[in-house]
């Protein structure tokens, strides 16, 4: 079966266990792509495969909870698990949606899909030790909304999902770890160490292919990025940037200074 078809099947799989198994099969080479087969056009996917729960609500309807209560700590970890679940679908969509990219592009996003699935499992298993499970709290769909808005152009996708939305996690993770450490959840902190390490690589992959797309189209990366931020009204999160993590992920010091100047 063609790689695009197997990635699309994993993307649209609603059963959680089956989706994780399909991702593992893709990454394990059990479903190999046929380079000689023409890629097909994938239609817009407003809602990819997902279990019936969690309930999706607007961000404004998500309650703020203190990590000092067990339920509050579980809600925080659930929110991160939901981000990782969405990230699985984003990586699968990057594989099946955009054709005629170099082979390394597809290998990179297969790696991302596997690692995001691993993050999700770590978080879900930890949630279960706290007496909760994935789906027990409402969640929002912001990451996938941007995937839909950029589904026509790989350049826009690479610019605005890995470099903007996923890169926010590089900035937020150390502060989240501080909160969890303060309530003695060392296991969650260790999981977030793994996630931060891998997410640096995922954002670096997004940076790599964003710059590749710019080079292919003869575009200046910084000016193009600013234009895309404005065109898509992509909001930059306020707060301190994690310079070491972002630089390891491929951002230059000048880019980071620019991002800080745009946080107004």
Query: Where does the pLDDT of residue 29 fall: very low under 50, low under 70, confident under 90, or very high at 90 and above?
Result: low
Query: Does the pLDDT value for residue 33 go beyond 50?
Result: no
Residue 45 lies in a domain: no
Averaged confidence pLDDT in the chain: 90
Per-residue pLDDT, 59: 77
Instruction: Give domain status of residue 13, yes or no.
Output: yes
User: Could you list the residue range(s) of the whole structural domain that residue 118 is in?
Assistant: 3-31+60-261
Q: What percent of the chain lies above the pLDDT cut of 70?
A: 94
**pLDDT value for 179:** 95
Instruction: For residues 225-247, give the mean pLDDT.
Output: 90
Number of domains in the chain: 1
Q: What is the mean pLDDT of residues 92-103?
A: 92
What is d(CA 55, CA 138) in angstroms, rounded to the nearest whole number?
Answer: 5
Confirm whether 134 is domain-assigned: yes
Is there a domain that residue 43 lies in?
no
Distance of CA 159 to the CA centre of its chain: 13
CB of 171 closer than 8 Å to CB of 240:
yes
């Amino acid at each position: 079966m063609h790689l695009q078809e197997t990635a699309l099947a994993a993307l649209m799989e609603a059963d959680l266990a089956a989706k994780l198994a399909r991702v593992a099969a893709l990454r394990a080479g059990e479903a190999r792509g046929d380079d000689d087969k023409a890629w097909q056009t994938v239609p817009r996917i407003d809602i990819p495969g997902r279990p019936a729960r969690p309930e999706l609500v607007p961000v404004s309807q998500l309650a703020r909870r203190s990590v000092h209560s067990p339920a509050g700590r579980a809600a925080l970890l659930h929110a991160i698990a939901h981000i990782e679940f969405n990230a699985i679908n984003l990586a699968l969509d990057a594989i099946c949606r955009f054709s005629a990219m170099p082979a390394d592009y597809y290998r990179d996003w297969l790696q991302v899909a596997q690692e995001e699935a691993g993050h999700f499992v770590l978080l879900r298993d930890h949630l279960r030790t706290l007496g909760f499970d994935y789906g027990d709290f409402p969640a929002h769909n912001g990451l996938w909304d941007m995937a839909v808005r950029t589904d026509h152009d790989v350049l826009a996708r690479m610019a605005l999902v890995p470099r903007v939305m996923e890169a926010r996690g590089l900035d937020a993770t150390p502060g989240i770890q501080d909160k969890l450490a303060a309530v003695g959840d060392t296991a969650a902190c260790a999981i977030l160490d793994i996630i931060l390490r891998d997410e640096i690589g995922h954002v670096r992959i997004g940076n790599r292919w964003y710059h590749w797309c710019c080079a292919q189209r003869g575009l200046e990366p910084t000016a193009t990025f600013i234009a895309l931020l404005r065109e898509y009204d992509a909001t930059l999160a306020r707060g301190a940037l994690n310079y070491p993590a972002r630089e390891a992920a491929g951002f230059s010091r000048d880019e980071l200074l620019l991002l800080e100047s745009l946080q107004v």
